[in-house]
Chain A
Amino acid sequence: MKLNKSFHIYGLFQQRMKIKGILIMVMLIVFQSAQAEGEQSPDFIRSIGKIYVVAGVCLIILVTLFIYMIQLDRKISKIEKRQKNE
């Protein structure tokens, strides 16, 4: 299988946004939406035996691990690029 550079998913936001910026944005959105939900229906997260807490925990774990993997992937691609140039 042959892929060109633009297919690489990080090419989408590689230019300006660093992964940290994205991370901060995601965090802000999550926190804000969590607060907004809290205002509307105070018991949303506690409903159904607090199942949404478990959902949140799983989401945090998966998202963090994925972000970490993406960062690692970026690092490796950078090394590969440098090695190719030499």
Chain B
Amino acid sequence: MNRILNLVAIEARIELRERYALSGIVLYVLSSSFIVFSIWKQLPAKEWGLTFWVIFLFCSLMAVVKTFGRENEGRYFYYYTLYHPLELFMAKVMYNLLLLLFIFLTLWFVLYVMAGNHIIRMGWFLTTGLMASLGLSFLLTLITSIAIKTQQNASLTAVMALPLMIPLLINILRLTAYASGTTPDENPWNEMMMLSSIISLVIGMSLWLFPYLWRS
């Protein structure tokens, strides 16, 4: 566990040293919300939720794409001798999770300022955001680890990850609709169960497959 945290710290240090990385994400969030807002002019509760997750998805894709591209080959070889693949994977996932949570909160804040708050049940929305970040960080980390081995890294990450995200996304959207009170559905536990079972599928599969995909 300590070794994993150590790796996360290294990741964070590399990222923070290049100042454009985090500020790039913030700017991406800002500009995309601005574009969406200038198209919609006003965001009713339902569209607010949809817009939120669309921006979130693309921001997270953008942020996560360079997960494995940050270091050069030599350093990976070094990591490979030093750490178990699962330790490396968990470190990357934890770092991405922090990144996605950061995006989630930033985006929430930005949309709150720009379009007002439509979320009635804050706790539910926060839980949904946590679950979404958790599921997506595992899924995206695995997909980027596949895509990094190919020649068109960035576009393939999007092409492979987006359709796989749909089952997660559908449940996330339903939970968001519940959190913003735009659905007559009064029992969100079904969706929550569904979402958590899909996420556990994703986690289990990615933990199983990553060590296999990683060695080369």
Does A touch B (CB under 8 Å) in the complex?
Answer: no
A residues with CB within 8 A of B = none
